[in-house]
Amino acid sequence: MHIEVVGSGPALVLIHGWALHGGVFAPLVDRLAAQYQLHLVDLPGHGFSHDDATPLRLPHVVNAIAAATPPAVWCGWSLGGLFALHAAATLPQVRAVVMIAATPRFVRGDDWPHAVEPAVFEQFGQDLAQDYRGSLERFLALDAMGSEHARQELRTLREMLIARGEPAARALQEGLRLLENSDLRGALAGLGKPSLWLAGARDRLVSARAMQAAATLAPGAQAHVIAQGGHAPFLGHTDAVATQLQHFVAGLP
């Protein structure tokens, strides 16, 4: 698995969302590399890990990342949040967890109303088999939709998507199944580690309400909403996200 290391200081592990790669965090790298050692993960089947055959499942990926990184704060965006949260709940070397536009459960249920309908992920899975590139384009549009800087963010995401080669179809299907089937809410009450939940106020995929609801389940959690931010707030509102990260890490024991 490809993990790029940039900067020096306390270690942060950054895990990207569905279909992208670690390069998507470039704006945060520019802001944080002088203070932190950033470990930028390309998940299996994505970016420079395109040919990595590790199954895109929580324990497999988390253990592989942990074996290649020092004790650190793990930060996960969207799909990456599932890996970061699972790591925080199961591995002692994870100091704290930062969830960026991510929740322990991405699909709606009777007791979890502020989420996406299950049919959305089912439809994306069907569309991938019929129109691979068109499906990716539609998903990137959802990533940027609603943001104050939606047009610029969409342009950046399009460039990033192909910057390290297209993601493997197998990994995309596995990622959709993770988003559709994972429910890590049960790990929050006993998490025992600091957590920061960063939401975009205009996010069309992961609502701020869902993130705030998740934060109430984790004792001592901090939650912050990025005003005017969409699903990728670190692109259009880099300074706001970086500032929240810096304050959170500075306050860790």
Q: What's the pLDDT tens digit per position in 203-221? A: 999 999 999 999 999 999 9
110: left (phi over 0), alpha (psi -120 to 50) or beta: alpha
Tell me: pLDDT of 135 over 90: no
Q: What pLDDT is attached to residue 126?
A: 87
Beta strands in 82-226 (DSSP E): 94-100, 195-200, 222-226
Tell me: pLDDT of 226 over 90: yes
Q: What pLDDT is attached to residue 130?
A: 84
Q: Is 97 helix (H, G, I), strand (E, B) or coil?
A: strand
Count other C-beta atoms under 10 Å from residue 34's C-beta: 9
∠ at Cα 150 (56, 18), nearest 5°?
Answer: 5
Q: What is the mean pLDDT of residues 161-186?
A: 93
Q: Is 215 helix (H, G, I), strand (E, B) or coil?
A: helix
Q: Rounded CA gap, 128 and 51, in Å?
A: 19
Query: What backbone phi and psi angles, to 5 degrees, belong to 98?
Result: -120, 125
Q: What pLDDT is attached to residue 143?
A: 83
Q: What is the mean pLDDT of residues 14-40?
A: 97
Contacts for 41 with CB less than 8 Å, ≥ 6 apart: 1, 2, 3, 13, 14, 15, 16, 22, 65, 80
The set of catalytic residues is 78, 203, 231
Q: Is 41 helix (H, G, I), strand (E, B) or coil?
A: strand
Q: What's the pLDDT tens digit per position in 53-110? A: 999 999 999 999 999 999 999 999 999 999 999 999 999 999 999 999 999 999 999 9
Burial of 220 (0-12, 13-18, 19+ CB in 10 A): exposed
Map out the domains of the chain with their CATH numbers. Answer: 3-250 (3.40.50.1820)
Q: Rounded CA gap, 4 and 63, in Å?
A: 17
Q: What pLDDT is attached to residue 184?
A: 98
Residues 114 and 101: beta-carbon distance below 8 Å: no
Q: Rounded CA gap, 23 and 132, in Å?
A: 21
pLDDT band at 128 (very low <50, low <70, confident <90, very high): confident
